[in-house]
Amino acid sequence: MEHEHYFHTHDAVSPQETLALLQYMARHNAHHAEELLEIARSLPQKAASPVYEAVELLKQSTDKILQAIGRLEE
């Protein structure tokens, strides 16, 4: 389950790079949400409940990123 995170900060980032990074982050978050759901399904309900809540918050966060992407693409 290990993976790399690639983040680069620059003083001047082009609009295309910003859009690409946001798109990457949205996909990346969705992937993590899927992984967390798989984990939660294997846990007792008492432990799974907060993980399901975390997944919902992650999905809400991803939705906000997607809103930003949509506004940039207008």
pLDDT in tens, 32-72: 999 999 999 999 999 999 999 999 999 999 999 999 999 99
Q: What is the DSSP string of 21-67?
A: HHHHHHHHHHHHHHHHHHHHHTS-HHHHHHHHHHHHHHHHHHHHHHH
Q: What is the pTM of this model?
A: 0.78
Strand, helix or coil for residue 71: helix
- pLDDT at position 13, please? 81
